[in-house]
Homo-oligomer: A and B are copies of this chain.
Amino acid sequence: KINGARLWDRLMEMARIGATEMGGCNRQALTDLDKQGRDLFISWAKAVGCTIAVDEVGNIFARLEGSNPDADPILMGSHLDTQATGGKFDGVYGVLAALEVVQTLVEAKHVVAPPLEIAVWTNEEGCRFPPAMLGSGVMSGAYSLEQAYASTDKEGRTLGEELDRIGYRGTLPASPRPYAAMLEAHIEQGPILEADEKTIGVVSGIQGAHWFDLKVTGASAHAGPTPMAMRKDPWRAVAPIVSQVLQLADDHAPWGRATIGDVSADPGARNTVPHTLYLSIDIRHPEEGVLASMEEEMRCIIADACAAANVTHSLQEVWHMPPTTFAPHLVDTIEVAADALGYSSMRLVSGAGHDSLHTAQFAPTAMIFVPCADGLSHNELESAEPADLEAGANVLLRAIANLGEA
């Protein structure tokens, strides 16, 4: 079993780097604080006996040799960067749980056959350098190295420059290598485990998501003198679109999701009918076919509502993450480990994207979720119980031990 107190202490020590007043963490990718976090992780990993390699996009691999140098290594890990208003656990937990597993094996003198590697993926959050999950995405081939280097923050600094500045542009090629497995532990970032009172989420995949920008255009008019019947108010389309798109997700309960995260009006004056409304739409579902039919229905809802309101629209797709199915034998391994340790568990599909989405393209992959309070994440109030974090790391340890024997 892993040392839960040591895991907790390290989580708290890492959280001091970029700690916010409200108890969260602001340690965005490739800032000075991210460098401090990376350096701290490397010092811990070296102390445990790992060797360190950094690839061209700044992904860190801390490696412990196994008894069989010819075996494909097993990969664990997650990310150390946070949102601007981030918490202490999102990403960090997956890295430090993996470190805890390696240290526990070393201290127990339990040598597994394959080498073990702990990955710290660069820029998972994407809040400083879009898109999210960039480091793992470059390694999987989803994005080119050039794309990644050119990604630019709001101050105009590129990811490539910032990698150089903090000394984390490595030489290891950021391209697929053979791995026997990749396991990522993570807080759920949702409320399901807590609601079901389960300690371990056995994650069978990641749902698919489409991101859209919707622009609905009518005509601006003075709020006072313009009779309702003479207006072309984009709200006449947008209000039913919002209701029906949310209903569309309800109709695909419990897995369908629809979110209108952002909205704005142009010109946005109190006494002017806006000529244009802008909305972001995020729809998700674990099954590709259902997601495609949700998208189709959403397009009909929008077209019908705009036609009925005599306004025009444009719909731009800005991102698409297809559903990911994790390796069934690894999902089983995690479930068996949780059972063997006596932890309550349930299977679920990740609602959020993770680096595992990309590693699944080049390595058998699965994830372990632990509960977080109220499902809160990307929030300074993000919180998780020490006992749950310990349980997740024990499941990771047991799964690695099982895979290492085979």
List the interface of chain A (C-beta within 8 A of B).
85, 188-192, 195, 207, 209, 211, 220-230, 233, 235-236, 238-240, 242-243, 246, 249-250, 253-265, 267-274, 277, 280, 282, 284, 318, 350-353, 375-379
Q: Output the nearest chain B residue to A354 by Cβ-Cβ distance.
A: B224
* B271 pairs with A282, CB closer than 8 A: yes
Check A195/B230 contact, CB under 8 A, given A223-B284, A270-B280, A352-B225.
yes
The residue in chain B whose Cβ has the minimal distance to the Cβ of A281 is: B270
Task: Give 8 closest A-B pairs by Cβ, nearest first.
Answer: A190-B225, A225-B351, A224-B351, A223-B259, A224-B352, A239-B242, A239-B243, A262-B268
Q: Please name all residues of chain B whose beta carbon is closer than 8 Å to the beta carbon of A191 when the two chains form the complex.
A: 221, 225-227, 230
Complex CA distance for A249 and B223, rounded to whole angstroms: 12
Residues from chain B with Cβ under 8 Å of A352 in the complex: 222, 224-225, 271
Q: CB distance B262 to A225 under 8 Å?
A: no
Contact B189–A225 (Cβ < 8 Å): yes
Give the nearest-CB partner of A213 in chain B: B270
Do A223 and B282 contact each other (CB < 8 Å), given the known contacts A242-B235, A243-B240, A263-B263? Answer: yes
The reply to whether B261 and A274 contact each other, CB–CB distance below 8 Å, is: yes
User: Do A246 and B235 touch (CB < 8 A)?
Assistant: yes
Contacts A220-B379, A271-B282 given: A246-B261 contact, CB under 8 Å? Answer: no
Q: Which residues of B contact A235 (CB under 8 A)?
A: 242, 246, 260
Given contacts A224-B350, A230-B191, is CB(A270)–CB(B282) below 8 Å?
yes
Q: State the Cβ distance, A194 to closest chain B Cβ, in Å.
A: 10
Question: With A and B bound together, what is the CA distance between A255 and B225 in angstroms?
Answer: 9
A223 CB contacts on chain B under 8 angstroms: 257, 259, 261, 282, 284, 351
Chain B's closest residue to A349 (CB) is B225
CB atoms of A222 and B277 under 8 A apart? no
**A227 closest partner in B (C-beta):** B254
Q: Contact at B242–A227, with CB atoms within 8 Å?
A: no
Q: Collect the chain B residues with CB atoms within 8 Å of residue A85's CB.
A: 267
A sample of 18 inter-chain contacts (CB < 8 A) reads: A188-B225, A190-B226, A190-B227, A191-B227, A211-B270, A220-B379, A222-B352, A223-B284, A228-B253, A229-B253, A230-B375, A233-B246, A239-B240, A239-B242, A239-B246, A259-B272, A263-B263, A272-B378
